[in-house]
Structure 1
């Protein structure tokens, strides 16, 4: 059954996203690295094809029809949203005949109920089979005999085969590059980008992604390129948050900026000082490598809003064995601060607090947000994964956890002297302005939903305030305790895995209150973009 098409015009939707040239200086790259980039762009276009098969059973056919049509704005809009639904407008379809966005994407039969899935999983005879059914890299299909589990390597074989060929071709080129710093003490045990790509291409055939995840996590600083490629995020699986979508990011490393951020990799210090009882703390954290990059290209599940940073992998097995890695996308962050956050702040903040709006506070909190994904419980106190117990609320609570724990940790680091170029007032005020930036993505989306929960909680605790004109401000006397309280509450909810308590918490705070709505309307009426959308300039540099 199709859903009525939203009334907003294509041009109005496109205007919500400011065009932003997304590129970088490539003059230092070896000719073989440039040749590898050509293959990686071709690979990214195949990742697009896989994503559309994952998103919805009709997405690939619809995309082909749109691309072969003559509506240029619709083509552009479909690419911006990476599909026929507007994520910033309650997933409203903007193409006639398109149904409501399926909660399970195309990972499960459309007529499957959650009860049927749970019963099917419980009926499987071995723990390994049950794990596969709920794993990141499988699809559930219906046959005449009932449900069955099929690995990605079989479902998408027709696309993964040419994808692997382009990835291996890129590795061929990169193996010809001589790395000056390869033999340093730091890099002797590290992997090259070519080694990672070879192992990732093998994973497309074997469906075993763990070895290549380890290679990605061990990439040495001698590599000029930073490539993320594979099934990672589970946002499209709204119902279960189990199945991973394919994506790729092609970056060039900013070696100087990366070196400056090593001081933030001490996760255990932050963990030890979290405001929760000891049983909720993770005692086996692995220091996360931090890489600063400039984005060149992206494909797959990469709809707006543009990702400014990410902490991967999400696979709990990989995290336990090899940790995680934080990638900060410098050129994207700069575009968001200039085109979106700064004008928003002038619409919603009390004028005398605008002095505390700060770009370094914005980018450093993004860093701390991603670092904080590794902090706190990933398993409940009784041994289940947090993901499996919180179900549809897992992603929103995880994003809220990373946000608020990152803000809490910023206070620790300012007091410790690790952060000496941003004050706590700058962190708090910039965080408040950025809350409105995230909420505009829509509260059905994990980041926006997590942010509205935080905003309402901090208002309830007196940390944030607003006047009769819906102008917001930070109460500097109450915000520190409010941040601590929220950090504590979310971490305990995750560690306990009490779904009923989580339901009550989300239902209480995940609403747009009148004052917030007035502020959001004021932002919209001012014509401020919701986010940026990329113009990838580097393809011209490869010609």
Structure 2
């Protein structure tokens, strides 16, 4: 209600401005421009359906203990954060296109402007990318990677260099024909500035492997050749400070899932937790062999030079900061690097703790059967998330029938199915390790019950999120298999034996779809099960009515950390 009043005030001010006599020294063009701006400001308003969604994010200070760092390292962190801010600006261009400052200036200060800032534009990322501001149509599936008027058929029939490439945009030339422009050309000015900061940071880095990575990553930003820096990133083992930066994930491209979006994380390693995780890396080859699927679908052998580490994240930027916040990372995505070297799994412990405290526990208190709530634990949440990231490195990266990579064969459905695979295989691996006596933390019931509570948390991310869609599919599949029951009091109770059976059968289904590159089969699965049905929708509404946040938003930056 208060924000409607603010919009009326803003509209009234815009009308007054538009009706004011023109300054004699102003050009006609300037006057027309001012009038157009005033008209825009007068018409942009929050849509009524979104008035209750402005508080779905819980604000949390993003801090870490930096007392062990020396002056050089603290200066280096400042440069890494500055480079990350450039990734943030680039993601705005990729996701929305309208200049950030000008867009936000059209909105009143307060909750509406903050909500737009969190969503990187006028679309609610946790509500199917629905527009929440008047004057904006639905979000283009291809974001700003492709021309707005381009059809899928036009793209698929066009002859283009780097057609399915990660690091180029599609544009029209003067004759209206499609062509590609490399990121290093399209975003040249910004990437040169970011590369300069990374090069300067490399001089301050005391760890030689980290310094080499920063130099190679700087070169990658300028050349679009990221593989050498990915290999260098895999070689890092002892650096206390970590940086993930560049165009990485393809979730933002919901048209084809080809183009990568800019993002960044600045992290500090938690040495004690990392030591606890190291023992699990050696189990990966055996886990790959034991996957519940025919041998052809697990014939690839991922590299064993992989590690598991825990970090406190101190800065998010770009894609990783838009809407729901990432709590774990499994990189690099380059299939060749994965096969030769494996992947690194980074668990963002402080971000996980914030989500567990403010979201998971309240959800469990409302939707999990009272006798099973004791099984919702942070250790189980941490390990479920960790093995989710481990599972990204398992299975198969290339189809078994010459359809190319899984990512290319499944197109826009690849990300959702991959997230679903990682979720379910992560739980499968935990089950195997518990049965083998290799995972001594908690009871198996802890992992299954926390997994169930986690579905309610992640399904709220909406259909536009690969993670949200994956959770919808799993919830509906589990319901059909009797993996849980909904009690008369509106709480859910896990049937542990049936969940274990459903876990194995869903794992086999997903791995087979990926290996076959079965686009039509995945599309049918998403259409059938990637939806929120009425009963679940009503239960999610109970979470909203209880003011349980959907996700967190971070107060972050150099000032919060005490850096210059």
TM-score by length of 2: 0.88
What's 2:211 paired with? 194
What's 1:448 paired with? 468
Tell me the SS of whatever aligns to 2:267. Answer: strand
Quick one: which of 329, 334, 340 aligns to 2:348? 329
Tell me the SS of whatever aligns to 1:314. Answer: coil
What's 2:380 paired with? 361
- Whether the 8 Å CA contact 1:361–1:430 is kept in 2: the answer is yes
Quick one: which of 47, 68, 89 aligns to 1:6? 47
Change (3 A) 1:3 1:139: farther
Unaligned runs of 5+ in 1: 180-190
- Whether the 8 Å CA contact 2:362–2:548 is kept in 1: the answer is yes
Question: Larger Rg: 1 or 2?
Answer: 2
Change (3 A) 1:538 1:161: closer
What's 2:291 paired with? 274
Quick one: which of 178, 185, 194 aligns to 1:163? 194
What's 1:15 paired with? 55
- Whether the 8 Å CA contact 2:81–2:557 is kept in 1: the answer is no
- The reply to whether residue 289 of structure 1 matches residue 307 of structure 2 is yes
Shift of 1:99: 2.6
CA distance in structure 1 between the aligned counterparts of 2:112 and 2:535, rounded to whole angstroms = 34
What's 2:163 paired with? 133
CA-based RMSD of the aligned residues comes to 1.9
Q: List per-residue Cα deviations over 1:424-457 (Å, max 9, x = no partner).
A: 1111111111100001111231101100100110
CA distance in structure 2 between the aligned counterparts of 1:359 and 1:89, rounded to whole angstroms = 27
What's 1:542 paired with? 563
Tell me the SS of whatever aligns to 1:252. Answer: strand
- Whether the 8 Å CA contact 2:95–2:120 is kept in 1: the answer is no
Shift of 1:315: 2.4
CA distance in structure 2 between the aligned counterparts of 1:527 and 1:69, rounded to whole angstroms = 25
1:175-186 equivalences in 2 (<5 Å): 177=206
CA distance in structure 2 between the aligned counterparts of 1:18 and 1:508, rounded to whole angstroms = 32
Q: List per-residue Cα deviations over 1:127-186 (Å, max 9, x = no partner).
A: xx4xx2211111111113411121100000011111111111212222xx3x6xxxxxxx
1:231-246 equivalences in 2 (<5 Å): 231-246=247-262
Shift of 1:520: 0.8
What's 1:458 paired with? 478
- Whether the 8 Å CA contact 1:5–1:92 is kept in 2: the answer is no
- The reply to whether residue 405 of structure 1 matches residue 425 of structure 2 is yes
What's 1:185 paired with? none
What's 1:64 paired with? 102
CA distance in structure 1 between the aligned counterparts of 2:46 and 2:413, rounded to whole angstroms = 27
- Whether the 8 Å CA contact 2:124–2:132 is kept in 1: the answer is yes
Q: List per-residue Cα deviations over 1:362-386 (Å, max 9, x = no partner).
A: 1000000000011111111113111
What's 1:306 paired with? 325
Shift of 1:484: 0.5
- Whether the 8 Å CA contact 1:3–1:100 is kept in 2: the answer is no
TM-score by length of 1: 0.91
CA distance in structure 2 between the aligned counterparts of 1:313 and 1:510, rounded to whole angstroms = 27
Quick one: which of 459, 465, 481 aligns to 1:439? 459
Shift of 1:248: 0.6
- The reply to whether residue 318 of structure 1 matches residue 359 of structure 2 is no
Change (3 A) 1:142 1:434: same
- Whether the 8 Å CA contact 1:470–1:518 is kept in 2: the answer is no
Change (3 A) 1:64 1:116: same
1:368-407 equivalences in 2 (<5 Å): 368-383=387-402, 384-407=404-427
Quick one: which of 203, 225, 228 aligns to 1:208? 225
- Whether the 8 Å CA contact 1:153–1:206 is kept in 2: the answer is yes
CA distance in structure 1 between the aligned counterparts of 2:434 and 2:371, rounded to whole angstroms = 23
- The reply to whether residue 472 of structure 1 matches residue 498 of structure 2 is no
Quick one: which of 136, 140, 156 aligns to 1:118? 156
Shift of 1:5: 5.5
Instruction: Select between 262-271 and 488-497 the one with higher mean Cα deviation.
Output: 262-271
CA distance in structure 1 between the aligned counterparts of 2:441 and 2:97, rounded to whole angstroms = 50
CA distance in structure 1 between the aligned counterparts of 2:523 and 2:309, rounded to whole angstroms = 36
- Whether the 8 Å CA contact 2:302–2:338 is kept in 1: the answer is no
Shift of 1:220: 2.4
CA distance in structure 2 between the aligned counterparts of 1:509 and 1:257, rounded to whole angstroms = 37
Change (3 A) 1:437 1:240: same
Tell me the SS of whatever aligns to 2:313. Answer: strand
Tell me the SS of whatever aligns to 2:462. Answer: coil
CA distance in structure 1 between the aligned counterparts of 2:107 and 2:255, rounded to whole angstroms = 33
- Whether the 8 Å CA contact 1:297–1:536 is kept in 2: the answer is yes
Change (3 A) 1:537 1:237: closer
CA distance in structure 1 between the aligned counterparts of 2:110 and 2:203, rounded to whole angstroms = 37
Tell me the SS of whatever aligns to 1:444. Answer: coil
- Whether the 8 Å CA contact 1:138–1:150 is kept in 2: the answer is yes
Quick one: which of 122, 138, 144 aligns to 1:100? 138
Shift of 1:515: 2.3
- Whether the 8 Å CA contact 1:153–1:207 is kept in 2: the answer is yes
- Whether the 8 Å CA contact 2:87–2:318 is kept in 1: the answer is yes
Change (3 A) 1:198 1:91: same
Q: List per-residue Cα deviations over 1:468-524 (Å, max 9, x = no partner).
A: 443211112312111111111111111111222222222221121232122111111
